[in-house]
Chain A
Amino acid sequence: MLSATLFAAGLVGVIIRRNMITVLMCIELMLNAVNINLIAFSHHLASLEGQVFTIFVITVAAGEAAVGLAIIIQLYRLRSTVNVDERNVLNG
């Protein structure tokens, strides 16, 4: 239930915000909701696999945040804006 609410909030944020940094934050929020589910089921089933998977998810989230923020910085240097709907041109 809590996880569902967090995930829905993150999804809404991804869709409705214009600032690209906030969109990336909402993606982190969704990953956290998934982590809560994994840990809860790991506890429920008395199994360690969920915790190991959560660690991998955290690793992937860290890498994704680093690459995403690098892309945002480079876009800001090129176009001096970080709004999503002005960035629909991929020709450089």
Chain B
Amino acid sequence: MDQAMANMPMLVFFVIGTIAVAASILVVAMRNPVHSALFLLLTFLCVAVLFVMKSAEFVAAVQVLVYAGGIMVLFLFVVMLINHRALPDERVLSKFWIGGVLVGLAIFALFVGIVRTGAYHDPSPNTNRLTTVREKYDEETETKIIRKSRWVENRNSEAVGMALYREYLVPFEVASLFLLVAMVGAIVIGKRELSAEEEETTPQFILERAEIEKEVKESMSA
């Protein structure tokens, strides 16, 4: 029983990871974009579970709120708006699909090679690095020691907030500026040009036409 409890995180990791991989493959394989979007949602939720398991609760919450809540609604909204019906005889794949699969498999093999042989699996992995990180924190100011100890107590969102507003304040502000620019850009790009009928009903157009008619009448009477 104890051993079963000890193996629990590994089991959860494998189950959730398998679901995530299967869902991501289905995202690519589904014909209908709505189905793809729903499987993408499943992938995002599985990734959030993995974040919680890696003691990153705040990032997991942000993942659920921003991705599952915001971006997925945006995607589904656009899919419904465009109403792209998947006709049965329509080609779904582009003409490069064999090359694409080959490139994907090559990249995958490359990653597997790196993970198998590389720096992931040191014989004595964690001890050295962890002590150096701790020493670095101990040498620095008192606030960082507090932050470190709090993170050990697993108050993750507090620690992330501290790091975000102290050491990463400038990137944080740049990110907010980036969001502003993206919002303005999306609105400008997505704005609809008025069609000819709608243009006739704008007040400016009516005023201009009235003036032109008045000029024409004056020239007729003169």
Partners in one complex: yes
**A interface residues (Cβ-Cβ under 8 A, vs B):** 1-19, 21-22, 24-26, 28-29, 32, 35-36, 39-40, 42-49, 51-52, 54-56, 58-67, 69-74, 76-77, 82, 84-85
Q: A54 to B151, alpha carbons, bound, how many Å?
A: 17
Instruction: Report B118 CB to chain A, min CB distance, Å.
Output: 12
Q: A26 to B82, alpha carbons, bound, how many Å?
A: 19
Q: A59 to B55, alpha carbons, bound, how many Å?
A: 20
CB closest residue in chain B, given A85: B94
Q: A44 to B126, alpha carbons, bound, how many Å?
A: 7
Please name 20 further chain A to chain B contacts, defined as beta carbons within 8 Å, in addition to the given A35-B59, A36-B51, A73-B81, sorted by A numbering: A5-B21, A6-B21, A6-B24, A13-B27, A13-B28, A15-B99, A15-B103, A16-B96, A18-B91, A22-B27, A25-B37, A26-B27, A29-B24, A39-B54, A46-B133, A48-B151, A61-B67, A65-B71, A66-B182, A73-B190
B108, A4: Cβ atoms under 8 Å? yes
Given contacts A25-B36, A56-B171, contact A17 B92 (CB under 8 A): yes
**B interface residues (Cβ-Cβ under 8 A, vs A):** 17, 20-21, 24-25, 27-28, 33, 36-37, 40, 43-44, 47, 50-51, 54-56, 58-59, 62-63, 66-67, 70-71, 74-75, 78-79, 81-82, 84, 91-97, 99-101, 103-105, 107-108, 111-112, 115, 125-126, 129-130, 133-134, 147, 151, 156, 159-160, 163-164, 168, 171, 175, 178-179, 181-183, 185-187, 189-190, 192
A66, B24: Cβ atoms under 8 Å? no
Q: A10 to B27, alpha carbons, bound, how many Å?
A: 9
Contact partner, A63, options B33, B99, B182, B190, Cβ 8 Å: B182
Chain B interface main SS type = helix
Q: A66 to B62, alpha carbons, bound, how many Å?
A: 17
B82, A55: Cβ atoms under 8 Å? no
Chain A residues near B105 (CB-CB < 8 A): 8
Q: A61 to B75, alpha carbons, bound, how many Å?
A: 13
Chain A residues near B133 (CB-CB < 8 A): 45-47
Contact partner, A5, options B44, B108, B183, B190, Cβ 8 Å: B108
Chain A residues near B178 (CB-CB < 8 A): 59-60, 63
B20, A76: Cβ atoms under 8 Å? no
